[in-house]
Structure 1
Amino acid sequence: MIRSFHRWPGLLALALVTLLALSGAALSVFPAGERIAAPQAEAGLTVAALAERIQEVHPGVEQIRRSPSGRITAYWFDQGAPGAAVIEPATGQDVASADPNQLERWLTKLHRSLFLGDGGRIAMAAGAAAMLVLSLSGAALVARRMGGWRHWFAPLRGSLPGRLHVEIARIAVFGLILSSTTALWMTASTFGLLPDGGAMPAVPAEVSGETGIALDHMATLRQTPVAELRELSFPYPGDATDVFTLKTDRGTGYLDQGTGALLAWADLRGWERVSETIYMLHTGQGAATLGLVLGAMALGLPAMGATGVLVWLAGRRGRPRIRGNQPAGRAETILLVGSEGGSSWGFAATLHAALTQAGQSVHVGPMSGFAPDRYARAERIIVLAATYGDGAAPTSAKGFLDRLSALDDAPDIPLAVLGFGDRSFPAYCAFAKAVAAAAQAKGWPELMPLDTIDRQSPQDFARWGSMLGEALGIPLELSHQPVLPTTETLTLVSRRDYGADVQAPTAILRFALPRVSLWQRLTGAGFARFDAGDLIGILPEGSALPRLYSLASGRRDGFVEIVVKKHPGGLCSGQLTALEPGDTATAFLRRNPGFRPGRGRAPLILIGAGTGIGPLAGFVRDNARHRPIHLFFGMRHPDSDFFYGEEMPAWQEERRLTRLVTAVSRGARPHYVQDALRGDATEVARLIRGGARVMVCGGRDMAAGVADALAEVLAPVGLTPAVLKAEGRYVEDIY
């Protein structure tokens, strides 16, 4: 609901709100420019002294105005001809023309009314309303994505357009809410929908009838500092019944031109102060710095519009369209999806179609939108949950466990949890298991026991569907056809072979970069953007299930590189290691933002064995900033599988690699990377205590041994691998 409330005003009013934002940002510069250019009155200068200085230069002065920026403007008649100028307060002399800036006037008319009068004002008010709706709904979506308001500035992951959209929104949304709210207030005031609130004192019935008192003899003018002045109007020459009119930040009063007495006074009312404050907040007049800040935030709106469209288009491509999706309040079955890459949504679409065909009314939504109060007719809730990284919630499930924990009582609606994962990973379906455990601890009634799907298996899904049908008392057949991402054809340009001497044939395969369209460059799709540590999916011939390999290169390297070991009977590894230069493979890219070195300057401790060296070598190759990198690399024998051994000396000479520690497991004394860590315990502990980040890539057994070794190494300094993981300083890419 919130997502739709955010999406459609944005798409329908994109051009209008962009015009509002750009013109508003441009107008925000003028108050600052005026404040810088305007001669400022010296401290302690009174209105009486200022008026005398101006009157000496312009005897026919009729009015003196001070703008919120401090600029003094005088208006006069000289021999029947009107004149006006910006005044230097110290001398009363003219310093600049008082004519308004034509560009500012043009932009103001565009911003307020599109040059269309009242009709244009209403249109721009509609744009401001759309901006307010976008800002409020966007803030709610950001909070939901981050797992609550407390995590507003938590690290992001996902596609580049999606991250940019949220990063900009997290800052700009506050300014956009303020600007759109004040715009709507000012429009309502313009059309008389709000009380005027202006207070003028009663016109004095009696005056002295005298004229010509010196300005410095008028007590009120002597006691009023120029810093409080808004406007001073002089009596009409020759009219003894006319008076001085003084407007200040405190109110408005009339002064007798013969005696200088204050004849009447009216303080500025509260409503008028509110209106003036709102005007200041919206225009920046009187608050130039704030105006520039709001203008900068307004510039974020076009950027958010562009990235929002890209995210919307990517979502339409990456997430299957679910036809007949019922509102949550009218559905009998609620399907909640926790997905990182989008594949779980495909399974949800298959289940939705099957249940709908069986006569059920079904609603599908993200786990992050979990709201039991909305499920008025629900008879069951089914959670389809993938796992991100080392057991974390995937993107569309952020905040689910926090919302569940915050409930006083679990929903009185039976629950089934289905996890998606890969059994080769240690944290297989860990998030789904955490959801099931939290639900059980909360006393949530169970529809079916927790079940899991390994490697997106359609067979596992069909088996689970049969069990669900039995639990519901309806025939249910789930025939799921996985939808693969858009693939590219990669051409092999070179290969280096290792491992034949130890019966572990392995190859470093380097492919040419595929051609990238302009659209892919703009959206970051395909191979337009990637880094070492990202994943490449290879679709082997004769299989519908892709295999994933860690990239040993980034886009800036100018090639796509992976390290592949041939496994006995391995379909994909066998096909890849049989490729010769000029041959091709079908592949797609998958981001892996959780396995990144990060942008800091803290040392890196890279630990890998066998083909796990791939992404680690990519990190070293990309280390142009000479960040300290300590690489622990385990191999069988340096003569057979010292991957990247030719490059290591050059990387050390170029200061891309600070130190290399190798461990050989097939020598006279078998030595593994965990043994190398223990042997270098003092230096490893020193680096980690100083803020180093640990990155591990390789097989599960190696990773487990490394974790045990680090636990021993860190015990004397009071740290553990678990603490480092919680701090984001220990990350793994394990297979």
Structure 2
Amino acid sequence: MVLSLWRYAHLALALISSVFLVILAATGVILAVGAVNDKLPAYRIDEADTLNLAQVVPNLHKVYPEIITLSRDHRGFVSIDAIDEEGNPIKGYINPYNGEKIGEITQQSPFIQWTTALHRSLFLKETGRVIVAVVSFLLVLISISGLVLILKRQQGFKNFFAKVQKDFFSQYFHVVTGRLALIPVLIIAITGTYLFLLRMELFQGEAVVEQVSVGNSEDMEDGPSLSPADFPIFKSIPLERLESIEFPFIPDDPEEFYIVKLQDEELQINQISGQIVERTIFPSNKWQERWNMDIHTGRTNIVWAIVLGIASLNILAFIYTGFVITLKRSRTKIRNKFKPLDAETVILYGSENGSTLFFANKIQEQLLAAGEKSYLAAMNQYGTFPKANKILILTSTYGLGDAPSNAGKFLELLQSVPQDQSIAYAVLGFGSKAYPDYCAYAIEVDNALKELPWAKEYLPLHTVNDKAIDELIPWLQAFSDKSLLPLATAAAVYAEKPTKMQEWKVLEKTSISASNDTFKVILEPIKNQRYTSGDLFAIYPGNDHRERFYSIGKCGGKLQLIVKKHEQGLGSTYLHDLAVHDVIKAKAMRNAIFHFPRKAKEVALIFNGTGIAPFLGMIAENSKRTPIYCYGGFRYQNDWVNQYVRFAEEQMSKSHLVDYQFAYSRQEPGHYVMDLIAKDKLRFAKLLARGGVIMICGSLAMQRDVENLLDKICLEANNRPLSYYQKKQQLMTDCY
């Protein structure tokens, strides 16, 4: 809860100030570059600041008979306004050792002046200055709240610079550079705020004027006369303290003084005796303003100006990556069709950056599409689920083994809110093996569930490293096999950067009849699109978030779908209502785990019903003539199935297919595809032993029955379980 408050505060402050921060940061970058350029060419003479005025002034008088002013700016450049021996006016930067002119005085470019005005007041005068000050203060609060979030993420100062888990680039960049740029950004914000307060005279002080009694002008004139080289006060003032000297207009006139302006005071010095006539001590806010200005602008140091420029760039990057993080967290919209009291499958997620929620939502959408009463919620929303028979928990681990912010109360709720019925559970953990506490919170949740009398393990704890989809797929397959609820196993379905929609033109579509409820659709992409047999074709029949997937068969270079028409089927009805020449928006999604194994010595294809779709393309494209054995199950041998028979005969004549066997469950003698497999059990045992591959496509119920039968065959003939061959990728499935 505390973490959420800090996060919302951080976000709210950023939202409020973002537009102005963009302006201030962008102009800050420009002004930082200007500050660097301002130091080039370098008219600052090395070690000149160690000279005192008693050394500098006589040196200059040797070159310039008449000097009006001598100045030193914030860059350490010394400039003079004088007249040389030939009566020529001289204005420029000089070498204080010998008075040599080394450069012309330059003014800021109009662009830098314009940028400075925009940076300071947004061209709104005092109103703009107030806005800039408020935004600067908000930046202080943003930095502090960001620091708190990093400390909570890294578990304190001890681990402040420990490795950061990379969920995605924007999150990683935001945290890592946030740590590095924190101090410069804080300094920019604090000094900017303080400069405004000083200019508003909220810390106003008064100058202290000290009159020094040194006698009247006659006494000064009659007293000992000293040259500037012998003035004690000049000897005590190093050049680095100087801002400017106004030289006496009339030499040897006791009423004309040197007016020496230093960083903290101003002195009037008698030009004859070298005595101080008047000292004005500036209030502290004067030097504080100059000091804050130097730090805020980097005008005194090139390295610091570069640091400030990088920090300003980082502010722009923080704004961008911060909004990316926010959008990523909020992009996944939970659409619950059922209430928690009615749900049979409950999915609880723990997600810090939205990635785990994305995966949970993908599973939820597919369960709803399959007709399952599914409910998705954060782990902190755990409660009583009276009709639930399964609870799926997907959670990441935050920081060093802690719960994500929306799962922090879960373990406490788990103990205080028991379920009245037995519920099967499965825990899926997301993390990174780069950290010692890999999936630590998922492990803790799994252990807590094991101790509850009502919780029964449905699937063993499964972990996914760095959001690797290939590590997620085995869990999806295991869940589908056990629950008979279809979950897609194509990596593209779970890609956080979804495949773009493409336009597809309908080339051919067959019709259904009283004796046949299956139809074929052939399409081609309007623009070039790569796909192959075994990939998935995703359609959006409701023109919304609801996806429907169909296995692709690539035949004759065209995309072919085999679809069974369901009376209330959203996807099948949409496809059935298409007409030739219609153009639809859909996408072909790569499903590499169900591509034809090109290196396999031999392949057995097992399917029922519309599961034949990808195999039609694989057989037709078997140009290498890999031995293929086809086993299929249908209800009846009708005209539709006879098309497949003719296709198989044709492919056998091309040596694309060794043989085929079809079983018909609704006509005599009432065989199933398992009967065909049992009859040829030695073929299957030898095929696997020789390194061959078995591919299964069709219903989940059929898949489960076939796998059970194959397991028995493998144990009897090869003394190995089917799982041995599964681990060697010799069993490939895509079932629904």
Q: If the length of structure 1 is used for normalisation, what is the TM-score?
A: 0.52
Structure 1 residues 85-484: aligned runs within 5 Å: 85-102=92-109, 103-146=111-154, 148-149=156-157, 150-196=159-205, 200-206=208-214, 209=217, 210=220, 213-237=226-250, 240-248=254-262, 252-263=266-277, 274-320=288-334, 340-343=355-358, 346=361, 394=396, 400=402, 414=416, 421=427, 431=440, 434-436=443-445, 455=476
Taking the aligned partners of 2:286 and 2:22, their CA distance within structure 1 comes to: 31
Equivalent position amino acid for 2:56 in 1: L
1:69 maps to: 75
Q: Deviations over 1:306-363 (max 9, x none)?
A: 333333333332243899xxxxxxxxxx99656633247759999xxxxxxxxxxxx9
Residues of 2 paired with 1:81 and 1:321: CA distance? 84
Deviation of residue 227 (structure 1)?
A: 3.1
Which of 31, 37, 42 pairs up with 2:41?
37
After superposition, the Cα gap between the structure-2 partners of 1:321 and 1:562, relative to the gap in structure 1 and judged at 3 Å, is closer
2:10 maps to 6
Say if 1:235 and 1:257, in contact at 8 Å, map to a contact too. Answer: yes
CA deviations over 1:89-128 (Å, ceiling 9, x no partner)? 2332333333421233222212111232211211222332
Higher Cα radius of gyration? 2
- Tell me which residue corresponds to 2:594: 564
Residues 265, 279 of structure 2: 8 Å contact kept: yes
Distance 1:247-1:108 versus aligned 2 partners, 3 A rule? same
Q: Output one character per residue of 1:40-75: Cα deviation in whole Å (capped at 9) or x when no partner.
A: 335343222322333444444333221232111224
Query: What are the Cα deviations for residues 172-201 of structure 1, in whole angstroms up to 9, with x where unaligned?
Result: 3332222111100101111112234x7555
Corresponding residue SS for 2:245: strand
Q: Any conservation in 2 of the 1:175–1:297 contact (CA below 8 Å)?
A: yes
Q: Who is 1:657 aligned against?
A: none
Query: What are the equivalent positions in structure 2 for 1:680-691 lying under 5 Å apart?
Result: none
Equivalent position to 2:52, from 33, 46, 63:
46
Pick aligned residue for 1:23 from 23, 27, 37:
27
Partners of 1:491 and 1:512 within 8 A in 2? yes
Report how many aligned residue pairs link the two structures: 484
2-structure distance, mates of 1:50, 1:113: 40
Identity %, equivalent residues: 15
User: What is the CA distance between 1:282 and its match in structure 2?
Assistant: 0.6
Task: Give the deviation of 1:5 after TM superposition.
Answer: 2.2
C-alpha change, 1:15 and 1:702, in structure 2 (3 Å) is same
Q: Which runs of 5+ in 2 are unaligned?
A: 338-347, 366-375, 386-390, 460-474, 486-492, 505-523, 530-537, 539-547, 552-562, 572-588, 597-604, 622-686, 694-713, 730-736
1:135-162 deviation per Cα after TM superposition (whole angstroms, max 9, x unaligned): 3333333444455551545243233333
Aligned-pair CA distance for 1:166: 3.4
Specify whether residues 424 and 109 from structure 1 end up closer, same or farther in structure 2 by C-alpha distance, changes over 3 A only. Answer: closer
State which drifts further: 35-44 or 287-296.
35-44
Contact 1:147 1:400 in 2 (8 A): no
By how many angstroms is 1:575 displaced? 5.5
Post-superposition CA distance 1:362-402 (Å, at most 9, x none): x98788xxxxxxx9xx9999xx9955xxxxx6266776359
Please list the CA deviations of residues 392-433 of structure 1 after superposition, one character each: whole Å capped at 9, or x if unmatched: x626677635999x99x98998367997646999x9x96555
Task: Kindly provide the CA deviation profile for residues 276-316 of structure 1, in whole angstroms up to 9, marking residues without a partner as x.
Answer: 43222211132331121111111122223233333333333
Q: Aligned partner of 2:138: which letter?
A: A
Q: How many Å separate the matches in 2 of 1:272 and 1:235?
A: 26
RMSD: 5.9
Q: CA, structure 1 residues 10+27, in 2 after alignment: closer, same or farther (shift >3 Å)?
A: same
Q: How big is the shift at 1:22?
A: 1.4
Query: Is the CA contact 1:40–1:89 (under 8 Å) kept in the aligned structure 2?
Result: no
Check whether the contact 1:68–1:285 (CA below 8 A) recurs between aligned residues: yes
3-state SS of paired residue (1:13): helix
Local SS of the residue matching 1:69: coil
For structure 1, the residue ranges without an aligned partner over 5 or more in a row are 324-333, 351-362, 368-374, 388-392, 464-481, 493-510, 517-526, 528-536, 546-558, 584-634, 642-665, 673-697, 704-735
3-state SS, counterpart of residue 342 of structure 1: helix
- Displacement after TM superposition at 1:515 (Å): 8.4
Report the Cα offset of residue 217 of structure 1.
1.9
CA shift for structure 1 position 252: 4.8
